[in-house]
Structure 1
Amino acid sequence: MTISYKWLQQFIELTEDPEQVGKMLTSTGLEVEGIERVEAVKGGLEGVVIGEVLTCERHPDADKLSLTTVDAGTGTPLNIVCGAPNVAAGQRVVVALVGATLYPTNPNGGPAEPLTIKKAKIRGAASEGMICAEDEIGLGHSHAGILVLDTDVPNGTPAAEYFKLQPDYQIEIGLTPNRIDAASHMGVARDLHALTGRSITLPSVDAFRVDSTDFPLDVQVEATEACPRYAGLTISGLTVQESPDWLKQRLLSIGLTPINNVVDVTNFVCHDLGQPLHAFDADQIEGGKVVVKTLPEGTPFVTLDGTERQLKATDLMICNGNPNPAEAGMCIAGVFGGKKSGVSEQTTRIFLESAHFSAASVRQTVQHHDLRTDASFRFERGTDPNLPVYALQRAALLIQEVAGGQISSDIVDIYPTPVAPFRVPVRYRNIDRLIGIQIDRAEIARILNALDIQLDEVVSEPAPNAGFIAVVPPYRVDVTREADVIEEILRIYGVDNVPLSATLRADSLSEFPTIDVNQLQGRIGEILAGNGFYEIMSLSLTRPAYHDAIRSALPGADVTLLNPLSDELSVMRQTLLFSALEAMVYNLNRRQKDLAFFEFGKVYHQKETTDPQTGAAGRKYVETMRLSLAMVGNRQAESWQQKTQPVTFHDLAAAVQRVLSSLRVRSFDSQPTDSPLFQYGLTYSVNKKPVVSLGLVNPKLTKLVDLKQPVFYADFDWQALMKAYSGKAKYEEVPRFPDVRRDLSLVLDKAVTFDQISKLAHQTERKLLRSVGVFDVYEGENLGAGKKSYSVSFTLQDPTQTLNDAVIDKTMQRLMGAFERDLGAVIRK
């Protein structure tokens, strides 16, 4: 939600700058996410001043030009050549000094090219500035002549000061769903009032008068549960046209686009007071009747955007007197107006609506039609049932001010069952307990009264039931429990004003440099279990035949038992692979086909050593921790929703990368593995240290355990990962500027891997390149022998600005050049 700093000042005096106001609002729970300066006129008229034409005579070499001298407050009169037909000596004018940059009004709409004022010679005469027309400084569209002012301000007065074009500031508030009461400038001012004690100035409606009752409408509310209150009036004789500058500036200051003076007033009041309104073209209201009701299921209705929508039987509608449901609808209540009854330039009479609709009813309609508007945003969270008439009077006065017309009916206000305030019992002891300190009882009363919450049935201490009944206004839909009232007290009192207890333990805030390996292991186990893996625990003893099959891949000699229980379990394992394979065979023999296992376990070997003193040879026993993953069968069970698919290498690689990412290892090198454990696979390295190998298990090894299905396996060096793990998380601000994607199709030799492409891309473009991905690989005879085609995506992003096409194209040309030069690529176009 966007709030204007200057607009906010209409409700409450602010001596603080926007940054300070932002901090104050954040402290009350209205978190400010950003503050942005907004110029009333682009450039702020920097370098533009008020001056006086001292002399004016015709240019000797140009009939349409005049030679003038102008006092612009610089100490020395300026010589300025002027082409305006109305320039004359003695005029007070607007002067752009040399160096000023102007942003003229574009007569065709949209921004115009900026103009920087320079010293120049025009037809041989020196010119040291420019006397400006209103369109040349962005204040209007007229170019009939220069602006001639009736003023006595000193020469040299900044034009921005003269035209009162002080900059505004947009305050972006991350409004939580419970604080819909603050979805307006008045609502935000209420929190500042409670925080500072300064008074709030509400717009006066004392001037509201009913001019006549010549144009009454019959208003009926049939769905009173969905519409507890409905108010309205008619205004006749108005003129729909462009809004005055002040109104347009108010809407533009919060990012809204002006439409016309009537619609702009309804939008203004919505953001001013928080009460949505809607204006109907009264001449389109058939039968002189307005009926609030539902229409039959499937009734067609065309909304203001020209879209025909099929209504649900629960959609609350504002209807006219036509008995045909297809012709009766005028507006989806609280959500979106209808095209037929909308205000246009031909409208001269309106019916102005101000209502309180049920939040549940509006929310249901919004979700069904996926229609979200400023009005529905407020109604579906809960508006103030006591505000409609005041907002109606405020809007009517403003419409009369900007569009003319007379109020031609009494206010219709249908409110059969007024919404009562919430009565919430509160005990002082619970306030003290939840806040943690005892706040002065008078301060509690002051805070609640400032929030429009009255105290009733107060029981003073030391009575055991000391407390009060909090009478909460119905616009505070989030304050219905004792804890809610206490939260209101705390957010205004200030969390920062609650001291920490002397006995409060803050151990959890400390940073522990020593990694708890067991805790980390448990966390990775939970992640794997959450992704469908089952943990296995197996014996550390294994068959010597397994090691004989992979002897070249083992780090050292076997650790052999001196007194084995059997020949089949006579050595300590050097890999977790065969433990996983045996577990798979056990499950497959029991018709468990789709398996994904992980195991944390130790492996053992003997390492040859040499005594540095004597040179004698010896052996050292080595024990290391490993993590293994193994997958076989299908990636998910059979289902009527999707076809089953067998596990692939990429399923295993995704699981491996989840583990690495959880250990904050997001950057690693990969290269094909040459281990005899795998038929094919990869080895990932961190700082040139291998940390995991993964791939398809060599079929010769699966045959050793009588396993016929393909098995995918990953072997992590857990101890190496623990050394690489820092335990410190890295945080980055969410990028403010969007990324862009570009794709290339590269024809390369089959020997070139995607890893080579990725590394070369990152070496070539280090600043903008965020990621490289491959989304298609093709091999075919039409490419030529020994060739393949990669379809590669590149994601580019600049954290400081939005990338333009020139920068993107230059970057892609540099990447293509590198691929052609270093990889022999042919770029397919």
Structure 2
Amino acid sequence: MEISYKWLQEFIELPESPEQVGKLLTSTGLEVEGIEKIEAIPGGLEGVVIGEVLTCTKHPDADKLSLTTVDVGTDQPLPIVCGAPNVAAGQKVVVALVGATLHPRSGDQDAAQPFQIKKAKIRGAASEGMICAEDEIGLGTSHAGIMVLDTTLPNGTPAARYFNLEADYQIAIGLTPNRIDAASHFGTARDLKAVLNRSLQLPSVDAFVVDNTDLTLDVAVEDKADCPRYTGLTISGLTVGESPDWLKQRLLSIGLKPINNIVDVTNFVCYDLGQPLHAFDADKIAGGKVLVKTLPEETPFVTLDGVERKLTATDLMICDAEKPMCIAGVFGGQYSGVSAQTTRIFLESAYFSATSVRKTAQHHGLKTDASFRFERGTDPNIPVFALKRAALLIQQVAGGVISSDITDLYPDPIEPFRVPVRYRNIDRLIGIQIDRTEILRILNALDIQAEELTPDGFLAIVPPYRVDVTREADVIEEILRIYGLDNVPLSVTLAADSLSEFPKTDPDQWQSRVGQLLAANGFYEILTLSLTRPGYHDAIRPSLTGDDVTLLNPLSEELSVMRQSLLFSSLETLIYNANRRQKDLKFFEFGKVYHKVKLEDGATKYVEKMRLSIAMLGNQEAESWLQKGQPVAYHDLATAVQRILNLFRIKSFDTQPADSTLFQYGITYVVNKKPLVSLGLVQPKLTKLVDLKQPVFYADFDWQALLKLATNKARYEEVSRFPEVRRDLSLVLDKGVTFEQISRLARQTERKLLRTINVFDVYEGENLGKEKKAYSVSFMLQDSAQTLTDVTIDKTMKRLMTAFEQELGAVIRK
């Protein structure tokens, strides 16, 4: 959001510089992201002054040139050669001094190149400046002659002061969604008022009078829940045209483009007071009626941008006796707006339900200045004041008379928030004890009244425009941000406690290490929303450990629950890239999942856990002249998982089949009887939910469990001086026996000499029999104290074979 420094000064006295104001706003929570100087014309007329022509004679060698001397407030008058036909002695003129850079205008366009004034000789006569026409200094387009001023200002006065061209400053504020109360110059000034302890000056509307009631409309609100307050009036006899310079300059200073004087006033008041307004052409309001209501589903409506939209049954509309005219709080209609022929208007100022406007704007994909404010919560007490302010401004810039009383339909006034506050909680949350008088001053400066005062606390009466201040902690935050975070000292004890030592296991460091490992192996990190659609959870409900965390005010049905798995975030990212011809994809994501559980006492507990996901699709490596593309296989994913486990120095684990709800096939690694990671091929029915038809290999780590196993301790073993010995066995086993069972049994049988075990071939065939398979397994044996003898090797292998035969029913093939 952009704020004008000079515009702010209309509400509050600000001798502080724009930079100082920026620091003050940031300290109150309105973070200033940048300050830009705004000049009414390029260069700001720097080096251009008011002068007086002392003498004027014809140039001896040029009929169209004059030799002048001009007093510009210096010790000596300047000799200037002038070609204007209207120059004469005694005139007050605009003089560009040597060194000044001018930005002339030609027609309606800026000149392509500015130019600098230099000392020169023109037909042999010295010239030390230039007497300017209005187009030469960028103030207009006329070049008929020099500008002759009617002023008593001293010679040498900067021309910018005469033309009131003081530079403005555009202050860019990163407005957070909860601070919609500050989405105007008035709202921003309220914070400055509190932090500077100064008075606030609202524009006066005392001049507002109803001239007649010749254009009184019948106004009614049918949906009072979505429109708690609706006000309006009519103005007749106005003229639509170009806005005056001051109004255009105000809008341009915050990046708005002027349109016409009526629309410009409504935009001005929106950014002035924070209250959106809408002007209707009164002659286009059929039946002299204005109705606020909903319309049947699929009713067509053409908005200002010329697009026909189908309304929903919940869209609040402003209608006349025959047709809809405007989507309430969002966007006007094409056939009821102000045009160049408009002479009478109905001016609307309302308070609409934030939920209603948010749903409508989201459904139609319309984001306007009005919806931005209404969907976050405007001030229900300002519509009439804003209406009077706008009516007076319209009369000032477009003429006309107020031709109706103010209609104000407000049957159920919105009450302020009543929040009990205790001093001990203020002291506890802020960390220091603030003087009670200062606390009450701050609250009063923020329009928060303290009632029912006791030694222990008070009742805060919060105005309804502060939609973000509804709890005790919110009130305390208001006190702190105005008191100033910088004024809260950091205690020695707190500093010592916070800087005592780093954790033994640094989650951020491990996350960085794992991310670097995966990136080095061709994976790209993704970051997705924590919100998802409930249909995804329904598809994997048997695998979920708790109930969904549902949003109370979802932006849409597709983003209405917190995710319980990273799987669908990965699948949506895969299909998004696959649809853009990215065929070979390897992603990983660190993200949180959420669920809630019911406790035995009936209470609800919310659970938040960190997970790491890996997803692969397409080919392991892109095809090239060296090799054909090889589709991603399960073992490619298993290799990535194993590299992560190796990084954490996790060597031993148990396995079990992966959850069939998620995986068509796969395994789960279990450490200390708790699942650590599940990996495998995602069930096709799940990939189809995002229209993904290719197979996806996916792994899901319990990141918190992984961190508990992390260690920074390195273990060093001296390289053995004695050689390894390899022995191979071919084992015929039932198909249900896994290599993990073979490996675990071998290590249990031989703990001293067995270094590694590996399967290098698997065979299935009719000669083995049904439901049988053969593993070719290698065993690496080594003794760190001596060279192995044949006798020792044979005894070791015999123990292993006996164990395989007895425990696994293996047949040893010779």
Q: TM-score, normalised by structure 1?
A: 0.64
Partner of 2:400: 405
Name the CA distance, whole Å, in 1 between partners of 2:175 and 2:16.
Answer: 22
Q: Deviations 1:93-125 (Å, cap 9, x if unpaired)?
A: 111122211112342335643122233444554
Say whether the 8 Å CA contact 2:663–2:680 is kept in structure 1.
Answer: no
User: Is 1:343 aligned to residue 333 of structure 2?
Assistant: no
The CA distance in 2 between the partners of 1:479 and 1:126, in whole Å, is 70
* 1:128 paired residue number: 128
Identity %: 71
| Alignment partners' CA distance in 1, 2:508 and 2:126 | 83
> Where does the alignment leave 5 or more consecutive residues of structure 1 unmatched?
323-327, 535-574, 601-628, 653-658, 664-700, 709-829
2 CA distance for matches of 1:162 and 1:595? 81
Partner of 2:143: 143
SS in 2 for 1:240: coil
CA contact (8 A) 2:234 2:345 kept: yes
Aligned positions of 1:361-372 closer than 5 A: 361-372=356-367
Q: Which 10-residue stretch deviates more, 639-648 or 71-80?
A: 639-648
Distance in 1 of aligned mates of 2:156 and 2:428: 63
Residue 76 of structure 1 is matched in structure 2 by: 76
How far off its partner does 1:434 sit? 2.0
The farther-off stretch of 152-161 and 268-277 is 152-161
Q: Tell which deviates more after alignment, 474-483 or 78-87.
A: 78-87
Shift of residue 293 of structure 1? 1.2
Contact 1:584 1:595 (C-alpha < 8 Å) held by counterparts: no
Note closer, same or farther for the CA distance 1:597–1:45 as it changes in structure 2 (3 Å cut). Answer: farther
Give CA deviations for 1:214-268 in whole Å, capped at 9, x if unaligned: 2111111111111111111111111111111111111111111111111111111
Compared CA separation, residues 83 and 345, structure 1 to 2 (3 A): farther
Residue 61 of structure 1: how far off its partner (Å): 4.7
| Aligned residue number for residue 437 of structure 1 | 432
Q: Which residue of the other structure, out of 442, 453, 458, is the alignment partner of 1:468? A: 458
2: CA distance, partners of 1:413 / 1:133: 52
Cα distance in 1 for partners of 2:501, 2:105 equals: 58
**Distance of aligned partners of 1:126 and 1:524 in 2 relative to their CA distance in 1, 3 Å threshold:** same
**Corresponding residue number in structure 2 for 1:14:** 14
Tell me which of 481, 486, 492 is aligned to 2:476: 486
| Alignment-derived partner of residue 302 in structure 1 | 302
Q: Which residue of 1 aligns with 2:486?
A: 496
Change (3 A) 1:592 1:40: closer
Task: Say whether 1:119 aligns with 2:119.
Answer: yes
For residues 644-679 of structure 1, the C-alpha deviation after alignment (integer angstroms, 9 at most, x for no partner) is 54689xx99xxxxxx9xxx9xxxxxxxxxxxxxxxx
For 1:485 and 1:75, the matched residues in 2 are separated by 63
| 8 Å contact from structure 2 (residues 103, 110) kept in 1 | no
Letter in 2 for 1:256: L
Q: Separation in 2 of the partners of 1:80 and 1:23?
A: 47
Q: Which amino acid aligns with 1:406?
A: V
Q: Which amino acid aligns with 1:392?
A: L
After TM superposition, give the deviation of residue 72 of structure 1 in Å.
Answer: 2.2
Does the aligned pair in 1 maintain the 2:184–2:271 contact within 8 Å?
A: yes
Note closer, same or farther for the CA distance 1:251–1:510 as it changes in structure 2 (3 Å cut): farther
CA displacement, residues 181-203 of structure 1 (integer Å, 9 cap, x when unaligned): 11111111111111121101110
- Where does residue 809 of structure 1 map in the other structure? none
Residues 420-455 of structure 1 deviation map (CA, whole Å, 9 limit, x = unaligned): 111112222222222222222222211111111112
2:196 aligns with 196
2:429 match: secondary structure? helix
Whole-Å Cα distance in 2 between the matches of residues 292 and 302 of structure 1? 17
Answer whether contact 1:105 1:111 (CA < 8 A) is retained. Answer: yes
Separation in structure 2 between the aligned mates of residue 47 and residue 512 of structure 1, nearest angstrom: 59
Distance 1:507 1:295, change over 3 A: same
The equivalent of 1:640 in structure 2 is 688
Do 1:638 and 1:644's aligned partners in 2 also have CA atoms closer than 8 Å?
A: no
| Equivalent-residue separation in structure 1 for 2:130 and 2:414 (angstroms) | 63
Distance in 2 (alpha carbons) for counterparts of 1:521 and 1:156: 66
| Pair 1:28–1:111, CA change in 2 (3 A) | farther
Q: Which amino acid aligns with 1:486?
A: I
| Mapped partners of 1:345, 1:634: distance in 2 | 62
Distance 1:286 1:111, change over 3 A: farther
Query: Any idea what SS the aligned residue of 2:161 has?
Result: helix
Secondary structure of 2:687's counterpart equals coil
Aligned AA (2:687): S
User: Are the equivalent residues in 1 in contact too, given 2:656–2:668 (CA < 8 A)?
Assistant: no
User: Equivalent residue of 1:478, what SS?
Assistant: coil
Q: Name the CA distance, whole Å, in 2 between partners of 1:334 and 1:101.
A: 47
The aligned counterpart of 1:35 is 35
Matched, 1:360 2:442: no
Q: Which residue is equivalent to 2:467?
A: 477
Query: What is the CA–CA distance in structure 2 between the aligned matches of 1:635 and 1:240, rounded to whole Å?
Result: 64
Partner of 1:531: 613
Give per-residue Cα distances to partners, 1:444-493, cap 9 Å, x unaligned.
Answer: 211111111112222x22xxxx3222111111111111211111111112
Q: CA deviation at 1:365?
A: 0.8
| 1:761 matched residue in structure 2 | none
Deviation, 1:208, is: 0.8
In the TM superposition, residue 19 of structure 1 has moved relative to its aligned partner by 1.4
CA distance in 1, matches of 2:24, 2:179: 16
Counterpart Cα distance in 2 of 1:145 and 1:296: 64
Structure 2 CA distance, aligned partners of 1:454 and 1:592? 59
User: Alpha carbons of 1:143 and 1:632: their partners in 2 closer, same or farther (altered >3 Å)?
Assistant: same
Gap change, CA 1:110 and 1:319, over 3 Å in 2:
farther
- Partner residue of 2:94? 94
Q: 1:703 Cα shift?
A: 4.5
Secondary structure at the aligned position of 1:531 is classed as: strand
The 3 A distance-change label for structure 1 pair 160 and 76 is: same
Counterparts in 2 of 1:598 and 1:152: CA distance versus 1, 3 Å? farther
Using the alignment, how far apart are the partners of 2:682 and 2:287 within structure 1?
Answer: 68
Output the CA distance in 2 between the equivalents of 1:141 and 1:376.
Answer: 39
Map 1:93-492 onto structure 2 (within 5 A). 93-109=93-109, 112-322=112-322, 328-458=323-453, 460-461=454-455, 466-492=456-482
Residues 415/111 of structure 1: CA separation in 2 closer, same or farther (3 Å cut): farther
State the AA in 2 paired with 1:454: Q
The alignment partner of 2:30 has SS state of coil
- 1:756 aligned residue: none
Q: State the shift of 1:63 in Å.
A: 4.1
Distance 1:233 1:576 in 2: 74
- Residue 352 and residue 707 in structure 1: after superposition, are their counterparts in 2 closer, same or farther (change >3 A)? farther
State the Cα deviation string for residues 537-567 of structure 1 (Å, max 9, x = none): xxxxxxxxxxxxxxxxxxxxxxxxxxxxxxx
Aligned-partner Cα distance in 1 for 2:471–2:655 = 60
**Distance in structure 1 (CA, Å) of the matches to 2:668 and 2:108:** 68
Partner of 1:797: none
**Displacement after TM superposition at 1:390 (Å):** 0.6
Query: Taking structure 1 as reference, are residues 506 and 350 closer, same or farther at Cα in structure 2, changes over 3 Å only?
Result: farther
User: Aligned-residue CA RMSD in angstroms?
Assistant: 3.8
TM (normalized to structure 2)?
A: 0.65
Partners of 2:656 and 2:667 within 8 A in 1: no
SS in 2 for 1:530: strand
Q: Secondary structure at the match of 1:136?
A: coil
Deviations 1:675-729 (A, max 9, x none): xxxxxxxxxxxxxxxxxxxxxxxxxx98446699xxxxxxxxxxxxxxxxxxxxx
Structure 2 CA distance, aligned partners of 1:341 and 1:519? 60
Secondary structure of the equivalent of 2:136? helix
Supply the AA of the counterpart residue of 1:69: T
